[in-house]
Amino acid sequence: MKSVYLSKIREQNPLIHNITNIVAANFSANGLLALGASPLMSANIEEMIEIPKISQALVINIGTLIGKERDAMLLAGKMANSIGIPVVLDPVGVGVTRYRQETVRQLLAEVKFALIRGNAGELAAIAGADWQAKGVDAGQGKTNLQEAAQRVALCYDCTVLISGEVDIISDGQQTATIHNGTPLFPKVTASGCLLSAVCAAFLAVDEGKHFSAIIEACAAYTIAGEIAAKKLTTQVGQFQIRLLDELATLTPDVIEQNAEVKYV
């Protein structure tokens, strides 16, 4: 694959508005900075009219819904739609509680998303498929995840990324799988949340070519993880920092030489 968007992120330094969870906020902000984007972290409903006007993309992450955050997400999402900037939904643990299910249902009904990014359990819950999630973790099941990704993409007219050992990307018409990554990703909390933020940065510079942008975003992130894992002298503790280092030094050539992308 040819890397098109990483250089644009570093040239344009897009501002990415994150309404994210308290677990992921710091890691997502630092990851965006390392990549070359600029993070803005706010869930204050009083700011949801103004912030989208200066942003190039929005991430809505439901990981730790507190107070009026659902209202803030809806307002920011509608503002982003009216302005024309891409919106990413990370439906963390959507199947865990009724409130999360209702929140995601309302968001999908009222906000147009460019990307829905989640693990297998989260996307299966949205698709209404047979799957046993484990809290906010992926869990296990027998559902054909490629078909589930296609169904959700067609239903909501968006791109879908199911992240896991093999990442699945579909816009309903085209589907690809990415075979990069490391088993250390699920050992670090908020690594999926950072992937959603990274995807938003790529969408911010893609000029509407969402499918190809998400393929490159996912490949870039998982390749950075692979390289980081190979450089570790210990395991999980150092991985988070090494991942930030690799995101900061990643080049288009490294993406092109290492990406393992298959079109289904």
Residue type, 258: N
Q: Which residues are annotated as a binding site for substrate?
A: 41, 190
For residue 256, give both structure tokens.
Answer: 């092109």
Angstrom distance (rounded) from CA 119 to CA 136: 9
Tell me the binding residues for ATP.
Answer: 117, 163
Look at residues 25, 48, 59 and name the one whose alpha carbon lies nearest to residue 200: 59
- Please choose, from the candidates 58, 47, 60, the residue with its C-alpha nearest in 3D space to the C-alpha of residue 21: 60
Torsion of CA 91, 69, 64, 189, to 10 degrees: 70
Is residue 56 helix, strand or coil? coil
CA 67 to CA 154: how far, in whole Å?
A: 32
Binding site, by residue number, is 41, 117, 163, 190
| Cα dist from 246 to 33, 171, 176, 235, whole Å | 12, 28, 24, 16
78 class by beta-carbon count within 10 Å (0-12 exposed, 13-18 middle, 19+ buried): middle
